[in-house]
Amino acid sequence: MKEHFNKRELIETIEPVIENTAMRYGLIPIEISFEKENNKWFLRIFIYSNNHNVSHLDCENISRSLGDMLDELIPFKYFLEVSSPGLDRKFKSEKEYIIFKNHDVLIKLKNSIPETTLKTLKAKLIDYNKSFGIKVIFENKEIIIPMEKIHSTKLNDKIEINKNKEKNDD
């Protein structure tokens, strides 16, 4: 059982397979991690959909579709976990700033910016650019926040369940 490998190279090898499989189901892999915990390897894939909430069926479809292909690429025992990123998950990659454009976000700042003295901002994410940072709408104004000023960002979208049902109950 080979366990000495370059983790970055392995992820670069399996990432296109994961992305293509997810794309077939209309899903986007937001994060792919390969970590050792308690002497066991875990391949974790967090998926997202622009069209619907990620379901158990989505996770199952990805797991089943990837199983044999990944077993050929990963030469030792590992555990595959596929899940939704969840609402409280902090952004971990540039990719997420692109995927979640036009979503409401909660931004925690490392230090203040000229536009506000607040350290936590509720804003709408408009754009991301590696060189200038993120563009958001905050308090009805478009502002740019350099990435080095950001401590963390996470989704702040509100989930509205059975909105129509509430209207019918009146």
CATH code for the domain in which residue 109 is found:
2.30.30.100
pLDDT in the model for residue 3: 57
Q: Which residue has the higher pLDDT, 1 or 8?
A: 8
pLDDT in the model for residue 56: 94
Question: What is the rounded average pLDDT of the residues 47-70?
Answer: 93
Torsion angles phi and psi, residue 18, rounded to 5: -65, -45
Which band of pLDDT confidence, cut at 50, 70 and 90, is reported for residue 46? very high
CB within 8 A of 145, min separation 6: which ones?
107, 109, 113, 121, 133, 134, 135, 136
Q: Out of 25, 49, 83, pick the residue that ends a domain.
A: 83
Q: Which domain holds residue 13?
A: 7-83
Local structure of residue 90 (DSSP, 8 states): B
pLDDT in the model for residue 165: 37
Which band of pLDDT confidence, cut at 50, 70 and 90, is reported for residue 170? very low
β-strand partners of 31:
46
Q: Out of 45, 63, 83, pick the residue that ends a domain.
A: 83
Q: Is residue 165 part of a domain?
A: no
On the question of pLDDT at 124 being above 90, the answer is yes
* Percent over 70 (pLDDT), the chain: 89
Which band of pLDDT confidence, cut at 50, 70 and 90, is reported for residue 6? confident
Q: Are residues 57 and 114 in the same domain?
A: no
**pLDDT tens digits, one per residue of 59-108:** 999 999 998 999 999 989 999 999 998 778 899 888 899 999 999 999 99
Looking at the 3D structure of the chain, how many domains does it have?
Answer: 2
Q: Is residue 122 part of a domain?
A: yes
Q: Is residue 143 part of a domain?
A: yes
Q: Are residues 118 and 148 in the same domain?
A: yes
CATH number at residue 22: 3.30.300.70
Q: Is residue 89 part of a domain?
A: no
